[in-house]
Amino acid sequence: MLILWTQGDPNGIGSEIILKAFEALKQSEHQFVVVGSYCMMKYYAKHLGLNVPIKEITALHEISPTADSEERQLYVLSLSCNIKARVGEIQADAGNLAMQAIETAATLCLLQKADAMVTAPIHKQAIQLAGYKFQGHTDFLEHLSRPYDKAAKAQMILVDRPSALRVALATVHVPLKEVSETLRRSDALRTSIEALSKALMKDFAIPSPCIAVLGLNPHASDGGVIGCEEIEWIQPELDRLKETFNVHGVFAADGFFGAKLYKQFDAVLALYHDQGLIPFKMLAFETGVNVTAGLPIVRTSPDHGTAFDIAGKGIANPKSFIEATLLACEIAAQRKKYQVSSGVEA
């Protein structure tokens, strides 16, 4: 398979974890290509003392695969060399390069020139300075996918391959005070369960996925003592959804993770960002992967940010990026099987 690695913000740890991931995965049967800046990749390899052979290309057909893993080169589909390293700094040029890399890689995947993309971290403030009005990868990829699939609707699923833990979010970057209204107004509970169930079948080969749903309030409101959402509409809506989907809940979030109840389910639906991400990162910080389901392309990413504080120091851990790459390969292969078996587009 051909997997595209987007460089992410060149002032963060993206280049470093890509270089280290290539060293770890170069014996793989898959072909990896970086989309970003050849000059920046060369800079980091030299700066960090990483002996990785890097070759610049302008198109994918220039790749010359070799059977000898020791002779493999890290190809870089270079978009620009007109940027200088300002390690650990927020920079508009860096944000622009990061977004150009995402658009290029996504387009190649949408045109079926590549099998999947794995994205190194970007910095939200940098992309805003570059003039982009998107919050990050997810909504940008959804925007890019719409001309190819009008029904494209991105859903974030956090996955830990070693433990098979999967956590999806009904709302993502929504202020806490707006979560309840957003959930109710957008019919997010039904939409999220439908999307999650489909993703588990299509991307993870789970024929009848079992999904747990967390409550919104502490202790899932304790029968209406702490908030009213569970009684007024969350539980009734969940009961209706049980007629179609194998869903259970609502569960109090703290006890659910504390008692390891997540091991009894194929996935967990959290209703807001920190409710799902805090326990997930506590359980799988080094190996967690962000999967963007619901799009016509396969995209994964490490479950961490640009880490400007350690950028350029040679101490960044590539485990999550490696896991993201391995999972991208698995999902891409599974989607092809699903397409054949179901007779529908993956």
Is residue 344 assigned to a domain? no
- The better pLDDT of the pair 196, 258 is held by 196
Tell me: do 180 and 50 sit in the same domain: no
pLDDT (0 to 100) of residue 208: 92
Tens digit of each residue's pLDDT (9 = 90 or more) over 150-180 = 988 888 999 998 888 999 999 988 899 999 9
Tell me: do 21 and 47 sit in the same domain: yes
**Residue 344: is its pLDDT beyond 60?**
no
Q: Identify the domain boundary among 276, 294, 312.
A: 294
Q: Identify the domain boundary among 116, 150, 184.
A: 150
The Cα 238–Cα 213 span in angstroms is 8
Tens digit of each residue's pLDDT (9 = 90 or more) over 275-299 = 999 999 999 888 999 999 999 999 9
Is residue 340 assigned to a domain? no
User: How many structural domains compose the chain?
Assistant: 2
Tell me: do 201 and 117 sit in the same domain: no
Tell me: do 106 and 198 sit in the same domain: no
pLDDT above 90 covers a percentage of the chain that reads: 79
Tell me: do 135 and 210 sit in the same domain: no
Tens digit of each residue's pLDDT (9 = 90 or more) over 195-218 = 999 999 999 999 999 999 999 999
Beta-ladder partners of 55: 75
DSSP annotation string for 217-286: SGGGGGTTTS-SHIIIIIHHHHHHHTTTSEEEEEE-HHHHHHTTGGGGSSEEEESSHHHHHHHHHHHHTT
Tell me: do 98 and 195 sit in the same domain: no
Tell me: do 60 and 92 sit in the same domain: yes
pLDDT (0 to 100) of residue 322: 97
Tell me: do 163 and 144 sit in the same domain: no
Question: Looking at residue 271, which CATH number applies to its domain?
Answer: 3.40.718.10
Tell me: do 42 and 140 sit in the same domain: yes
Is residue 119 assigned to a domain? yes
**Residue 346: is its pLDDT beyond 50?**
no
The residue segments making up the domain with residue 165 are 155-294
pLDDT (0 to 100) of residue 318: 96
Is residue 320 assigned to a domain? no
Kindly state the average pLDDT of the residues 109-136: 95
**Dihedral angle, C-alpha 344, 334, 158, 231, nearest 10 °:** 50
